[in-house]
Amino acid sequence: MKKALITGITGQDGAYLAELLLKKGYEVHGIKRRSSLFNTNRIDHLYEDPHIQGRHLILHYGDLTDASSLIHIVQKVQPDEIYNLAAQSHVKVSFEQPEYTANADAIGPLRLLEAIRILGLEKTTRFYQASTSELYGLVQEIPQKETTPFYPRSPYAVAKLYAYWITVNYREAYGIYACNGILFNHESPLRGETFVTRKITRALSRIKAGLQETLWIGNLDAMRDWGHARDYIEMQWLMLQQQKPKDYVIATGEQHSVRDFIHLTAELLEMPLRWDGSGVDERAYDDKGRLVVAVDPRYFRPTEVETLLGDPSKARRELGWVPKISFHELVREMVEADYDAAKRDALVKSHGFTAYNFHES
Ligand code: NDP
Ligand code: GDR
């Protein structure tokens, strides 16, 4: 039975990847951080009672900023594959916590690669690094492919640039099977609530259910290549099953703006919106004249990545990978999940109870 170690198993991608690897018959180990509240919601359906023998999912406390915990876990597990998905993954937050972001997102991967080396696992443990389209930042070429020059635009992207190159370097210097998946934005109902797609589907659903008044948003004109996380984690696994380690761009090759995302969400929720057409500061109202969408500059970033569009031809050619879920299907799945949750919260509220997560993201 193959063993995989997933860092960031409690995040969006970690949850989908754990499910996929368990289906493939792996013994899956995951690293979770200690937190004062439960943080395993996304993988609770995969949980197995620690008292039973022959478990397939095993969690370990650890942190990417803590080398000794990582070395202990890698030594104990002796994984065939490590998927390094853990990161402070929010671009805007990285401007507020640049040093922590560098520690976790740049030095974290180095610590894992060093653990492989210290334990003499260079020839046995394969390593996947969660690289990102944010590396392209101020884009130098459209669409972006593996050979497009990088120009990072945030502390997050600069930290991920180090992680990208240290992965390449350890592959070349020590012969470790290590590769980078340069993934463009991918979303799902499990997406964190403060990323723009989930923020939109959640807020508009809650507005429709009468739980919230307005969606406050940042740059409406930002363009992204949005895919579905379930399609993208398939590729993370595929990249570690090849003869030679290589780096690949994973994207849909299709681009939409934040404004388009709001339009489609509102359409799916059957909420007619009237936009006032004032450009950057544009506002949208419902059929009763109530303000539904408005720009709040506090969501702007000191340096923005205005446009990203990926070219996944290498992945298609060499690995036979094509995304199966369309943009429309992605948004529909997210809207359905968030509208169900909003209706449930509204019902709870109407019976005099309060759910503790009634805040706006
Ligand atoms: P999430 O933010 O949903 O998950 C991040 C995970 O990392 C969580 O499990 C989180 O734990 C964990 N984590 C954060 N900091 C640490 C730390 N110091 N030590 C250990 N664990 C930590 O991210 P996604 O699932 O969306 O993304 C997975 C990876 O892919 C990330 O590295 C991200 O930067 C990268 N990426 C994501 C893309 C996307 O569009 N989703 C695109 C390209 C790259 P906790 O649950 O406790 O917070
Ligand atoms: P991104 O995702 O920065 O691309 O990073 P995010 O959803 O945060 O932003 C996408 C674009 O939308 C604009 N935007 C807003 N963003 C947020 N979060 N909140 C808002 O209110 C808002 N309004 C407009 C942003 O300015 C941006 O242009 C994600 C993360 O998952 C990274 O970890 C990953 O590496 C990249 O995708 C690829």
Chunk the chain into consecutive blocks of 10 residues (it has 361) and report each block's average pLDDT, rounded to whole numbers. Answer: 98 98 98 95 92 90 98 98 98 98 99 98 98 97 98 99 99 98 98 98 98 96 98 97 98 97 97 87 92 96 98 97 97 98 95 67 49
Q: Which two tokens stand for residue 280?
A: 């950057």
Give all domains of the chain, ordered by start, each with its CATH number: 3-188+227-255 (3.40.50.720), 196-223+256-304+326-351 (3.90.25.10)
> Atom 17 in ligand 2: which residue has the minimum CA distance?
196
Indicate if ligand 1 lies below 6 Å from the C-beta of 13.
Answer: yes
Give me 355's structure tokens: 């759910």
Distance from the CA of 200 to the center of ligand 2, in angstroms? 12
| Residues 304, 297 contacting (CB under 8 angstroms) | no
Q: How far apart are CA 38 and CA 41, in angstroms?
A: 7
- Which atom of ligand 2 sits closest to the CA of residue 91? 3
pLDDT given at position 152: 98
Number of other CB atoms surrounding residue 283 within 10 Å = 16
Q: How many CA atoms lie within 13 A of 238 on its CB side?
A: 17
Query: Closest Cα to atom 36, ligand 2: which residue?
Result: 185
- Two structure tokens written together for 112: 């894992």
Question: What Å distances lie between residue 311 and 130, 148, 308, 320, CA to CA?
Answer: 17, 10, 10, 14
pLDDT given at position 254: 98
For helices 196-208 and 327-350, give the axis angle rounded to 10 degrees: 40
Atom of ligand 1 nearest to the CA of 10: 9
Say which ligand is closest to the CA of 199.
2
Backbone angles phi, psi at 171, to 5 degrees: -65, -45
Cα 205 to averaged position of ligand 1 atoms, centre (Å): 25
33 lines ligand 1 (CB under 6 A): yes
Pocket test for ligand 2, best of 195, 202, 308, 361 (most atoms within 8 A of CB): 195
Alpha-carbon distance 326 to 60, whole Å? 35
**Ligand showing the shortest atom-to-Cα distance for residue 295:** 2
